[in-house]
Chain A
Amino acid sequence: MSSDDPVIEVDALHFSFGGYGRRGPLARLGRRDVLRGVDLSVPRGSVTALLGRNGEGKSTLLRLLTGFLSPAPGRVRVLGLDPARRAAAIRRRVGYVPDTQELPRWMRVADWFRFLEPFHPTWSRDEERALCSRLELDPQAKVSTLSKGQRAKHALVAALAHRPELLLLDEPFSGLDPIVRHEVLTAVLGHLRDEARTVVVISHSIADVERIADRVALLEGGRIRLSTDLESLQKSAVRLAVTLRDADAIWAPPGHPASERDGADVTLTYVDFHPAYEDALRTDPKVLGVARLSRDLEDVFRAATRIPEEVLPCAAS
């Protein structure tokens, strides 16, 4: 695997929960299709935010990447390896912070690290100590007594202490107060600063995504609807406030924006904005006025779920 190859390659990935066998009369019994042909490419050294509504399969996708689950069908390569066959080898090189993690009640924070250490040849106690110190995590604390924030820190230290090539974060900031969130974010950013490592993070916080991610991928309807770098998205996404002359007029905007109309007031969100659209609006006789709004990524992503897929920036872009 060369340094230019993507760290993660996913082609036409499908996955369903339930069902009994891949074929046969019971195959569809109780089956729930989650992923319906996911294509995704994550370049080395990037920080990719995986966005999407609850239940869209973001966590499932991460589990597939780590060999937790087996795809059927589809092609997945992580660090050049097939997770279905080389899950153990991948996990040695990947740090994974799950959304929730249950540990034996008898364990202390350091016990879990000592338990993990033999499984990761690259485990660094110096890194472990440094992370614990930075995150103010007491190694002697019982894991059963940790708060939610401390648990997140604990999971993060466990994922980072073996210096993984790829870090997968499944909503690591969820439910954290601003101070802990800041500490965790700082730790992740520190990890990224040290070496050019690849991160895939699931988050519902657009602010956090804007802070750490350089790429975004939107999972919707079992597919990646949008996959692009954040800078391009910020350039191509425009929000316009349009005022119509007649509140009851039938009117269609140019291009394929997501629109929200309240009488004569229409808010248009373009993901693939072109200046010609704005010119067309200003010369439209039904339009009384056009004004640019501040760009809000949250609105952009919400709009991306509503506009036709063919106008969205794809992974190749």
Chain B
Amino acid sequence: MRRFLTLVHKEWRDTRALSLVCALLVPLALLAAELGFLDWRGDFAGAYFVPGVIALYLAVIASDLVAADAATGRARSYAMLPVRPATLWSAKLAFLLVAGAAFTVWTLAVTTGLYAAFAPQDAIDLLGRELDHMRTTPLLAIAAVVAATVMWSTVLERGFAAVGAALVTCAALVGACMVVGSRNAELLPEEGVMRGAAYILPALFLAISCLTFVRGPVHASGTLRRLVLTAACLLAVFVPTGAVWAAVALERLHVEPGDPELRVQMHVVSSDGRFATLIAQKRHRDASYHVWTLNLETGQVVALPGRRWNFDWFDASWGDDGLVRLWTQDAGPIDDALRHEIDPATGRILRTRSYAQLRESHETPRRRWLQRQFGEDVDVNGVVHVWPVTEQGTRRSADARVIHHGRPNATWAYVSPGSGRYVSVMDSGSQTIYECATGMRIDTVGASRPRSVLHWPGGGSDDRFAIRYGEEPAMALVDLETGRETPVPGGRADLRILDDHRVLTHTESGEITLLDLTAGTSRVLYAPRRD
């Protein structure tokens, strides 16, 4: 231990001057930034200044951790010590950890101290919240960059180049995620995998650094050897990362009916009551949706083959022509809605129509996106009609009959409006509901611009029952005549009321049950596999 501490102390002496200068610069830089342009707001300091300063300091120290000794020839002197190279490397890493922890504490103390002295209370609170958030993602990002810097410092033996290479490496990894995610969100690893990678990648960088150091602690490498080592390191980082990623993505892309990971988000019953459209999503992630049809008589599930959908809002209905109508809309800057007409037998998209602010729009970027996504299935130039919601819609929030369940936290509910009747239960009053003959529009008050959300209630014309979404029990049917509630058992996620007082329900796990309110019976139509 004494030898190890001696080595750690040597590292401290090597960087003492730099560390002290950096420590002194922290309060000066913060004061200059706050007095100059930040004006003691708290958010910037907590979100960017503190993590940035810590990352900068650690990157500077890490960049010279190995490179400085190699470049000055001191590595040969240290390599002659009667200790294993792994011990030398471990001492360097231990110093980096200790120095990083100490500098982090110092930076936090300086920042909070200065804020306590000069900033208003709300800025201090904001700073505290931002610093609290720093415990997760920013620290992991700093760890990854610093570990990559250590790796490249060992391989390239040049401090400045090590920082640059580390930034490029991390940016390449993140950029690859972003590019792949923009093309197909399904390929992005789940949050847990991403978080695991954030822990594993620094360990991988450090392992490569250790291996390189142990194998060549003495000589400064030649250009050719550095090139080969660089290529080997890149392979060591990107090949396993890509392999794990590919394995995860392939596993996720493999979706079939009955997959226990599928979470049914919605089902819509056809007008004849024989089929239901299911919209499902992989559990625990914000990924693509899968659309299926279910034969209510036989329980047979027909997948829409090869389809994965990416949208923020969706709804489905059955048309009189026996086609499934899938309504989708993204919350992005292009917020036109899309209506896809899908043949349930083949899964082919027969026609896609685009609406901007509930009006048909032929020329939108969405069109090009659609062409990429759906290829030959797209027919955005087909004859479509314009929804007259804006002109003919009637504001109904004022005269909507409010049903009190005794549960003030309920959000809102509706009955399927075969007769055109809507009932809403408003909690916050922040939404305005417009009604029209064929749909409903909801505008969120206070939004920077109106965001149209199409709702196409599917199946059923009975308006006797309302669906109440609550906390416990999770869901209940409300008899609008008597006000009596009928709890829907089993933690159902959603239900639809059919014409004949039957209720089709589904759970998040995908189990679909048909309840007969008159007979008081229930029948499980579809259940996912239990792996």
Contact = CB atoms under 8 A, between A and B. Distances in A.
Interface of A: 18, 20, 30, 63, 66, 68-69, 87-92, 96, 98, 100-104, 106-107, 115-116, 118-120
A98 B76 CA distance: 9
B83 interface: yes
Contacts of B80: 66, 68, 91, 96, 98
Contact of B82 (A20, A92, A107): A92
Interface string B59-92: 0000000000000111011011111100000000
A68 B224 contact: no
Contacts of A91: 80-82
Q: Interface majority SS on A: helix, strand, loop or mixed? A: loop
Contact of A119 (B13, B73, B82): B82
Given A102-B73, A103-B74, A68 B225 contact: no
Given A30-B225, A69-B218, A119-B81, 10 more contacts: A30-B224, A68-B218, A88-B82, A102-B73, A102-B77, A104-B13, A107-B13, A115-B6, A119-B3, A119-B83
B362 interface: no
24 contacts: A18-B222, A18-B225, A20-B228, A30-B225, A63-B218, A68-B79, A68-B218, A89-B82, A91-B80, A98-B76, A98-B77, A101-B77, A102-B72, A102-B76, A103-B77, A104-B10, A104-B13, A106-B13, A115-B6, A115-B10, A119-B3, A119-B6, A119-B83, A120-B82
B343 interface: no
A90 B13 CA distance: 28
Contacts of B83: 88, 119
A30 B77 CA distance: 26
Nearest to B229: A20
Contacts of B77: 98, 101-103
Nearest to B9: A115
B461 to A, nearest CB: 77
A69 B80 CA distance: 11
Interface in B1-52: 2-3, 6, 10, 13-14, 16
Given A30-B224, A88-B84, A104 B74 contact: yes
A171 B136 CA distance: 55
B114 to A, nearest CB: 32
Contacts of A30: 222, 224-225
B6 A118 contact: yes
Contacts of A100: 73
A90 B16 CA distance: 32
A220 to B, nearest CB: 24
A72 B80 CA distance: 20
Contacts of A66: 80
B338 to A, nearest CB: 55
Contacts of A69: 218
Nearest to A92: B82
Nearest to B14: A104
A102 B3 CA distance: 20
B479 to A, nearest CB: 80
A219 to B, nearest CB: 20
**Which 8 pairs across A and B sit closest by C-beta, in order of nearness?**
A91-B82, A102-B73, A92-B82, A88-B82, A118-B2, A102-B74, A118-B3, A118-B6
Contacts of A115: 6, 10
Contacts of B14: 104, 106
Nearest to A26: B228
A89 B83 CA distance: 8
B9 to A, nearest CB: 8
Nearest to A101: B77
Contacts of A104: 10, 13-14, 74
Nearest to B13: A106
Which one of B3, B73, B80, B81 has the highest number of Cβ atoms from chain A below 10 Å of its Cβ? B80
A63 B218 CA distance: 10
Nearest to B228: A20
Name the residue among A20, A66, A91, A102 with the largest chain B CB count within 10 angstroms.
Answer: A102
Contacts of A107: 13
A111 B228 CA distance: 38
A99 to B, nearest CB: 10
B207 to A, nearest CB: 20
B220 to A, nearest CB: 11
Contacts of A92: 82
A163 B466 CA distance: 94
Nearest to B75: A102
Nearest to B73: A102
B88 to A, nearest CB: 11
Nearest to A20: B228
Nearest to B215: A70
B254 to A, nearest CB: 38
A149 to B, nearest CB: 19
Contacts of A118: 2-3, 6
Nearest to A155: B77
Contacts of A120: 82
Interface string B441-463: 00000000000000000000000
A227 B404 CA distance: 107
B225 to A, nearest CB: 7
A69 B13 CA distance: 28
B226 to A, nearest CB: 12
Nearest to A116: B81
Contacts of A116: 81
Nearest to A114: B6
A112 to B, nearest CB: 9
Nearest to A30: B224
A18 B228 CA distance: 12
Contacts of B72: 102
Contacts of B224: 18, 30
A87 B84 CA distance: 8
B159 to A, nearest CB: 16
A66 B79 CA distance: 10
B5 to A, nearest CB: 8
A92 B77 CA distance: 14
A55 to B, nearest CB: 16
A120 B83 CA distance: 10
A146 B77 CA distance: 16
Interface in B83-134: 83-84
Nearest to A117: B6
A235 B167 CA distance: 68
A307 to B, nearest CB: 35
A88 B78 CA distance: 12
Q: Which of A30, A87, A88, A118 has the most CB of B within 10 A?
A: A118
Contacts of A18: 222, 224-225
A115 B76 CA distance: 15
A91 B2 CA distance: 17
A65 to B, nearest CB: 12
Contacts of A90: 82
Nearest to A89: B82
A107 B224 CA distance: 34
A66 B73 CA distance: 18
A250 B2 CA distance: 73
